């Protein structure tokens, strides 16, 4: 298929960006979206133009790096997938495809389609871990009993890959789905209880410092999340936060 691409080009964080039009021809419907971008970049390099900068790593829906806005939707027109899992059969010959970076104050553009999501790393560093001694006296995994329901819910929350689609989609640029998932995966397990109060207070504090907005229960984040993280996790985080605040 032959496509027209309108892509956000921006030379650097302080430079004004703009949409630039490109044509790509003979794109196979079996290609992934990122392979189509590779074709465009080879085309640009051949004529001496600068290739379009975009993030990717695993190309199999695990790392959360390939975060793009495609035709006005985070991760493109399909559901429950990342951009690297999006296939060109989703588009038709002659289509115009708009490709932009995730936009939020806390995700400044570095170059073209690449944004700085280290704000997520700083939230994780504020409490997204447990401190356990693993040097020689590790407990047998079966020694701590966990109900099947709690284990399943914790695993569902742990599926969050930190892609940022929830932030990019939210009209308030709220990171509460991400933080809710990270708080939940420990709040549901006995191993997470020791540091539970500090964790939620510190992560929410860091979230606010980074400039993310608040949640107004619109639910767009849940719809666009490629990993099916639900609003239940935000409700759980709010309960954990209230509990920790009352504890003082
Ligand atoms: S909650 Fe979903 S959309 Fe948000 S960072 Fe995690 S995986 Fe991405
Ligand atoms: S490149 Fe890793 S999730 Fe897409």
Packing angle of the helix pair 148-158, 176-187 (nearest 10 deg) = 150
Residue 98 has pLDDT above 90, yes or no: yes
pLDDT digits (tens, 9 = 90+) for 171-186: 999 999 999 999 999 9
- Protein residue whose Cα sits closest to atom 6 of ligand 1: 160
Helix (H, G, I), strand (E, B) or coil at 140: coil
In this prediction, residue 93 has a pLDDT band, given cuts at 50, 70 and 90, of: very high
β 68-70/73-74 pair status = antiparallel
CATH number, residue 212: 1.10.1060.10
Q: Are 195 and 243 in a shared domain?
A: yes
CA of 141 to the centre of ligand 2 (A): 31
Q: Are 9 and 70 in a shared domain?
A: yes
CA of 229 to the centre of ligand 1 (A): 7
Q: Are 131 and 225 in a shared domain?
A: yes
pTM of this structure: 0.95
Q: Are 199 and 217 in a shared domain?
A: yes
Domain span at 122: 117-135+143-247
Q: Are 149 and 243 in a shared domain?
A: yes
Ligand 1 touching residue 176 (CB < 6 A): no
157: which residues sit within 8 A by CB, 6+ positions away?
A: 180, 181, 182, 184, 185, 188, 229, 233
Q: Are 65 and 160 in a shared domain?
A: no
Task: Give how many domains the chain has, as a whole number.
Answer: 2
Going across the sheet that includes 3-9, the strands are 18-24, 3-9, 96-101, 68-70, 73-74
Q: Are 127 and 241 in a shared domain?
A: yes
Shortest-distance ligand to the CA of residue 84:
2
pLDDT digits (tens, 9 = 90+) for 126-173: 999 998 777 777 778 788 899 999 999 999 999 999 999 999 999 999
Q: Are 125 and 187 in a shared domain?
A: yes
Q: Are 197 and 91 in a shared domain?
A: no
Per DSSP, helices labelled H in the chain are: 33-46, 118-125, 148-158, 165-169, 176-187, 196-209, 220-224, 232-247
Q: Are 127 and 89 in a shared domain?
A: no
Write out the H or E segment, with its range, that includes residue 20: strand 18-24
Q: Are 127 and 99 in a shared domain?
A: no
For residue 33, the model assigns a pLDDT of: 98
């Amino acid at each position: 298929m032959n496509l027209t691409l309108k892509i956000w080009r921006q030379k650097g964080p302080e430079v004004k960006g703009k949409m630039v039009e490109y044509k790509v021809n003979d794109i196979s419907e079996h290609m992934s979206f990122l392979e189509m971008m590779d074709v465009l970049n080879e085309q640009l390099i051949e004529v001496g133009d600068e290739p379009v900068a975009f993030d990717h790593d695993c190309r199999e829906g695990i790392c959360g790096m390939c975060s793009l806005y495609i035709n006005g939707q985070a991760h493109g027109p399909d559901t429950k997938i990342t951009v690297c899992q999006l296939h060109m059969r989703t588009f038709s010959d002659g289509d115009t495809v708009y490709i932009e970076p995730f936009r939020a104050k806390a995700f400044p553009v570095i170059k073209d389609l690449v944004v700085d999501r280290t704000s997520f790393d700083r939230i994780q560093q504020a409490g997204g871990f447990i401190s356990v001694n693993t040097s020689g006296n590790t407990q047998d995994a079966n020694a701590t009993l966990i109900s099947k329901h709690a284990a399943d819910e914790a695993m569902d929350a742990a599926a969050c890959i930190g892609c940022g689609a929830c932030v990019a989609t939210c009209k308030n640029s709220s990171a509460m789905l991400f933080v809710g998932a990270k708080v939940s995966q420990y709040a549901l397990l006995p191993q997470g209880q020791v540091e539970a109060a500090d964790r939620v207070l510190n992560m929410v504090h860091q979230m606010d410092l980074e400039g993310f907005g608040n949640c107004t229960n619109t639910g767009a984040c849940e719809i666009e999340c490629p990993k099916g993280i639900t609003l239940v996790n935000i409700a759980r985080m709010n309960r954990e936060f209230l509990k920790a605040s009352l504890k003082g």
